[in-house]
Amino acid sequence: MRLFFAVIAALLAVFVVSAGLPATSARAASVPSGDGVSMTVEPASDGVLAPDDDLTLGVTVSNGGDTDLSATTARIYLDREPFTTRSKLASWLDPDDVSGDDYLGRQLVAVDVPAVPAGSSVALDTVVVPADRLGLAGRAFGARALGARVLDASGSQVAQTRSSVVWYPADSFQPTRVAVAVPITTPESETGVLDASALAAYTSDGGVLRRELDAVAGTGATLGVDPMIVASIRLLGTEAPQSAIDWLAELQALPNDMFPLAYADADVAGLRQAGAATVPTVTSLGTLVDPDRFEDMPAPTGTPTEAPTEPAPGAGDGSDTGVAGSDPSAFPTGGATDTPTDEPTPSETPTDGVVLPTTAQLLDFPWTQRDVVWPVESSVVAADLTAFAAGPYTSTILSSGNVDLDGDSTENSAVTVGGVPAVVSDDPLSTLVTQAAEATTLAEWQATMARLSATVATVAYERPSDARTLLTSLEREWPSTGQFLTRTLQALNGLPWVSGATLTDALASTPSTATVVDRPESDARLERLRDLVGADERVVDFSTALDQPQLVTESARLRTMALASHAWRDNVDGFPAEVASAVADATATSGLVAVVQGSPISILGDRSALPLYLENKTDSVATVLLNLTPSNSILSIERSPIEVTIQPQSQTRVSVPVQSVANGTVSVQLQLVSLSGVAIATPVDIPLSVQAGWETAITWIFGVAFAALFVGGLYRTFRKRRRARDEARSSRSGSSSDAATPPPVQESM
């Protein structure tokens, strides 16, 4: 007798454990046996059963083994008791192990399975279970376990599958509000701006942006749009492809809630973890504005609002007036109150009667929500949220795998983490939505929708009088090529226990308390992002010496945001190469203002002037401080630092007064620093040969030589004059002698 009760207790324990194990994967709809045979069961009507409804099933048996499966039998089971928690439902759908002794519920029907050749699948005729055989009349609303197994000739289990249905007798309860966030992004970019050819390809029939927009049209999805797309179309002005203009017009016309992603869908969490001092945002787009593209654009009817100094993530206020006229590719007329910008550049001002768009106008869009950051799932650490809140973002979308929530039942998606607001995307629900969207067959889609409807129904069952607002989201690589996203979102909102919602609703729901479970980016990715952050900071530091810093920071920041995009995550070969190229270009940029190194210099004498040349290869005026530091005491720098202004694309000579103390060699380090105290170039060492006192000796030598020449000159002059006097005197005395002597007497012949 004791043995009998012990066996009964063991069987009950096995049943309880099998019904209460935590969730594992949420994907597999069929559990194959050891010989490769599997089956799927797809309930019709999204797995919803109302009173008097028959249960209609699609059943498929697949043979992935090497031997044929003989004709056999399949049995369908239903457990009439509802799942009370999501964890029990998940444990049922994805058990750790299965056996022929598993309790699958009460058998409803047995159907014949024809022979299935190896490597083939057989879809059975539609299985219909009459409503009166279900035994659910009079029972409460909720999700039920639906199971099936394939038996061989001996009655042993060959394969088993599990699904679910939801019994809906129109009980009174609060529906669950479910919001779905869908990213609208493009493939990876190197520059942070899409050119005309790329936009034409992406927005034409079959292009990625066209597919994404078509998939969300007619649904209640909340759209997270990359503002790079909007800005790129507007930057092209009259040269924008018509397909891109039409696409932007359709996007703006959608009634869906929309919010801007980080510019270029950059991984701002990864950049912060890689050492970025602040959350990076786009600084300016002004230098990319080509006046020729805006000659025939309609002029704005209002005066653009001056942008503030504090940048935002690349979006305008939801109350903005939108665009000029009816063409969304035209730049907006005003109302951009929180868009990132630098000081106005010449390209953002009227040119020959053509009014050019500002950075604020290029990025402006009538967003429903803004200042919401959306990192990819499970990529955030606690410090990221603090940085986001201190920067341009007011709330963060976190995946539920990234947080630890208080309580066992499903709560609202809104949470507070250490006082910082956030909203949590439900990972299991998001996975099911994604799987339904990427289904390749109707049967696969029906099976996944049955799981999705049962999961949301169980949320409502947990607390029927307490309506919850949940957020789900698609992955960045969601299958825009699939055919079931629109159908999935429409079916989800059509469930009787679901009420459509938006991100705005999720943010406004009553928050619960949560703790971040740190899920940092991988070491390999962070290594590359550190290089990217360092390159960006090098250019920003250099730009502090320029009157127009955006001339160098604009392209560098756009490149940083573009390469940090989530689109580069799977490009394992191209991403490191592009980062290396960005680092090399940043190094070259930081050397555009530098000391010109010439031939070796010799310093002669006690005091002298050290001649130096500085060059500026940028298109902006540069103002720097030249610091000189000798390596030893034999040379004294009499003035350092020296402020130097260098015109664009030119060189400037600087004379530095120095004093020699002793003879020898010395190395002088030259460091250029901006007026804000930031070193802008690599220090340069120039060797000098110092000959102290040689100037005095040379002066004496020249003095003595000059004196000798002077005295010699005087001596020669005196000698010449004396010789002249002597010669004159001698000439006069000779003339007197000749006059006193009588002439000689001539003899006659």
Place of tokens 């004059």: 721
| 201 Cβ contact partners less than 8 Å away, ≥ 6 residues apart | 207
Residue 313: per-residue pLDDT: 42
pTM: 0.81
Is 530 a residue whose pLDDT tops 90? yes
Residue 135: per-residue pLDDT: 93
End-to-end CA distance of the chain: 203
Residue 729: per-residue pLDDT: 66
Is 429 a residue whose pLDDT tops 80? yes
3-state secondary structure of 512: strand
| Whole-number Å distance between alpha carbons of 707 and 699 | 12
C-beta separation of 673 from 642 below 8 A: no
Q: How confident is the model at residue 351 (pLDDT cuts 50, 70, 90)?
A: low
Q: How confident is the model at residue 663 (pLDDT cuts 50, 70, 90)?
A: confident
Is 483 a residue whose pLDDT tops 60? yes
CB burial class (10 A; 0-12, 13-18, 19+) of residue 216? buried
**Domains identified in the chain and CATH numbers:** 2-171 (2.60.40.10), 177-295+306-321+358-516 (3.20.20), 594-692 (2.60.40.10)
Amino acid letter at 298?
Answer: P
What pLDDT, in 10s, does the model give residues 255-294? Answer: 999 999 999 999 999 999 999 999 999 989 999 999 999 9
Pair of tokens at residue 140: 């409460």
Residue 486: per-residue pLDDT: 93
Residue 181: per-residue pLDDT: 97
Rg (CA), the chain: 43
Place of tokens 């949470």: 415
| Of the listed ranges 23-32, 624-633, 685-694, the one predicted with least confidence | 23-32
Residue 523: per-residue pLDDT: 95
Q: How confident is the model at residue 28 (pLDDT cuts 50, 70, 90)?
A: very low
Residue 661: per-residue pLDDT: 80
Residue 172: per-residue pLDDT: 73
Residue 270: per-residue pLDDT: 97
What does the mean pLDDT of the chain come to? Answer: 84
Q: How large is the average pLDDT for residues 497-520?
A: 95
C-beta separation of 412 from 512 below 8 A: yes
Residue 549: per-residue pLDDT: 95
Residue 334: per-residue pLDDT: 40
Q: How confident is the model at residue 744 (pLDDT cuts 50, 70, 90)?
A: low
User: For the chain, what percent of residues have pLDDT higher than 90?
Assistant: 65
463 phi-psi bin (left φ>0, alpha ψ -120 to 50, beta other)? beta
What pLDDT, in 10s, does the model give residues 211-229? Answer: 999 999 999 999 999 999 9
- The sign of the torsion formed by the CA atoms of 241, 243, 248, 253 equals positive
Amino acid letter at 622?
Answer: A
Is 726 a residue whose pLDDT tops 80? no
